Amino acid sequence: MRKQFEGSDTDAVSSLSLDIAAGSIVALIGPSGCGKTTTLRMINRLIEPTSGRLEINGRDVIQEPVTELRRGIGYVIQQGGLFPHRTVAQNIATVPRTLGWEKGRVIDRVAELAELVGLESEMLDRYPDELSGGQQQRIGVARALAADPPVLLMDEPFGAVDPIVRSRLQDELLSLQQQLHKTIVFVTHDLEEALKLGDRIALLNIGGVLEQYATPDELLRSPANDFVEEFVGDDRGMKRLALRMVSQLAYDRGPVVDIGIPITEAAKAADAHGTDWLGVLRGDAFAGWVRVDDLRNGDALADVPRVRPAAQVTPASTLLSAMELIMTSRTSVAVIDDDGRFGGVVNLDSIRKNLSSEDDS
Ligand SMILES: Nc1ncnc2c1ncn2[C@@H]1O[C@H](COP(=O)(O)OP(=O)(O)OP(=O)(O)O)[C@@H](O)[C@H]1O
Ligand SMILES: [Mg+2]
């Protein structure tokens, strides 16, 4: 698709071609003025492309009536874009009412959506300016979802809220998406947000030039050119760590022994691993670390003082948090699941091995 605005002698968006998989989330990102909003608005034809094709499910929708197209596309406008003189309920009901839904059905749908996006029902009669920024954003999302469109466009949906609310709204969107499987295109300025939410990221340059279209991992692992490399930053290796979980590692059992073994055996195991600390297990459960030097001071392993250091992660922890522990703790980092079962130890080696593999899951 291409867009040249009237009176301008350059393209706001030049021959941009994107293939977006149904049910996936694509993040449009790039410097200010690069054509993100223009691209988004060409998808629902709030801006008519100067030339090009727009296909949804293999259908060329440029020829279709625009109302027909928009029925299938929800649009979350920058900063919520709510109607200030309408109540929350009326805002959410905008599209169903235009579609002429019967009153009872509209009311039911509004209640359902409020619950879906986590708005309390007492807020439905308020006006947008009587709500927090985060609540307004949720209403914007509820309004866009009202007629259950398969496609959702979002223009900096979480731009106007503080980092904590922002992160919560992002999590909510991800869990919503697990239930709804929409095809979502969203614009953001925030690389972290694009990496967290996007199945793929389209990085645009001024003039709507597509510099790279790739999964978050791919974008960080192999930037296509200098522009991309600079955009993702020189800590891109660390950023990749934040995208991966400990459960994806091939970790080994590490220096651990069962609490029931003779202390001489424990000392041998420590020797074999060449470590200062030995993990002690009681059955499946992790019972703590003992200092190898202390092994001399007891008859039984159970009598040796144990510490339960903070150096543990769960399978759902990110590799970034595991890395932080590796750098700051004296012992190895143990993987312990929510039921207290020991899974193995994480070390630099296992993380390095993991990073050298591609991950497009
Ligand atoms: N209606 C318009 N008429 C003329 N030029 C426009 C119009 N809308 C946008 N532009 C120009 O097109 C280019 C792309 O604008 P667009 O709003 O798509 O950028 P953006 O990537 O969304 O930027 P931002 O991150 O600041 O929101 C800019 O140079 C802008 O000035
Ligand atoms: Mg914009």
- Structural domains of the chain ordered from first start: 25-234 (3.40.50.300), 247-355 (3.10.580.10)
Residue 295 has pLDDT above 70, yes or no: yes
CA of residue 119 to ligand 2 center, whole Å: 27
Instruction: Tell how far the Cα of 175 is from the centroid of ligand 2, in angstroms.
Output: 25
What distances in angstroms separate CA 29 from CA 86, 201, 223, one per listed residue?
A: 32, 7, 14
Say yes or no to pLDDT of 357 above 90: no
- At 273 the pLDDT is 86
Compute φ and ψ for 42, nearest 5 degrees: -75, -25
A 10 A CB-CB count for 348 gives 12
Q: Which atom of ligand 1 is nearest to the CA of 38?
A: 18
Q: Give the pLDDT of residue 64.
A: 84
- Of 44-48, 214-218, 291-295, 308-312, least confident by mean pLDDT is 308-312
pLDDT at 92: 94
Residue owning the nearest CA to atom 26 of ligand 1? 32
* Residue 3 alpha carbon to ligand 2 centre in Å: 15
Per-residue pLDDT tens digits for 41-78: 999 999 999 988 888 888 888 888 888 888 889 999 87
CA–CA–CA angle 263, 269, 270 (5° rounding): 90
pLDDT at 138 over 70: yes
The alpha carbon of 38 and the centre of ligand 1 are apart by a number of angstroms equal to 6
The residue to mutate among 6, 11, 29, 36, having the most atoms of ligand 1 within 8 angstroms of its beta carbon, is: 36
Closest ligand (CA of 36): 1
pLDDT at 310 over 70: no
pLDDT in tens, 151-190: 999 999 887 788 888 888 899 899 999 999 999 999 998 9
Q: Which ligand number lies closest to the CA of residue 30? A: 1
Q: Determine the atom of ligand 1 nearest the C-alpha atom of 156.
A: 27
- Number of Cβ within 10 Å of residue 321's Cβ equals 16
Distance CA 39, CA 1 (A): 8
Å from CA of 67 to ligand 1 middle: 24
For the chain, the distance separating the N- and C-terminal CA atoms, rounded to the nearest angstrom, is: 29
Q: Whose CA is nearest to atom 28 of ligand 1?
A: 33
Q: Per residue, what are the HEC states of 27-40?
A: EEECCCCCCHHHHH
Please name the residue whose Cα sits nearest to atom 18 of ligand 1.
35
* Mean per-residue pLDDT, 261-278: 88
With a cut of 60, say whether residue 136 has pLDDT above it.
yes
Q: Which of 1, 2, 34, 38 to mutate to test the pocket of ligand 1 (most atoms within 8 A of CB)?
A: 38
Please answer whether residues 320 and 241 qualify as being in contact, where contact means their C-beta atoms are separated by less than 8 angstroms. yes
The pLDDT value recorded for residue 349 is: 86
H helix intervals, the chain: 36-43, 66-71, 88-92, 94-98, 103-116, 133-145, 163-180, 191-197, 216-221, 226-232, 236-243, 263-273, 319-328, 348-355
Q: How far apart are CA 210 and CA 55, in angstroms?
A: 19
Percent of the chain with pLDDT over 70: 97
Q: What is the pLDDT of residue 204?
A: 96
DSSP state of 80: B
* pLDDT category of residue 255 using cuts at 50, 70 and 90: confident
Least confident residue range of 64-68, 94-98, 111-115, 178-182: 64-68
- Centre of ligand 1 from the C-alpha of residue 39, in Å: 9
What pLDDT does residue 309 have?
62
Pocket of ligand 1 (CB under 6 A): 5, 8, 12, 32-38
Per mean pLDDT, which range of 16-25, 130-139, 252-261, 352-361 is the poorest? 352-361
What per-residue confidence (pLDDT) applies to 80?
65
Residue nearest to atom 1 of ligand 1 (CA): 5
Ligand 2 centre distance from Cα of residue 190 (Å):
12
Q: How far apart are CA 340 and CA 229, in angstroms?
A: 41
The arithmetic mean of pLDDT across residues 105-126, rounded, is 92
**Ligand lying closest to the C-alpha of residue 35:** 1
- Cα(75) to ligand 2 centroid in Å equals 14
151, with CB counted inside 10 A (0-12, 13-18, 19+), is: buried
Q: How far apart are CA 110 and CA 204, in angstroms?
A: 36
C-beta atoms surrounding 115 within 10 Å = 12
Residues with CB under 5 A from ligand 2 (ion): 37
Measured CA to CA, the distance from residue 152 to residue 301 in angstroms comes to 60
pLDDT score recorded for residue 359? 60
Average pLDDT, the chain: 89
Nearest CA to ligand 1 atom 17: 37
% of residues, the chain, pLDDT over 90: 53
Note the ligand closest to the C-alpha atom of 16.
Answer: 1
Q: What is the pLDDT of residue 350?
A: 87
pTM of structure: 0.84
Nearest ligand to the C-alpha atom of residue 28: 1
pLDDT value at 360 more than 60 = no
- CA gyration radius for the chain? 26
Determine the distance separating the centroid of ligand 2 and the alpha carbon of 11, expressed in angstroms.
16
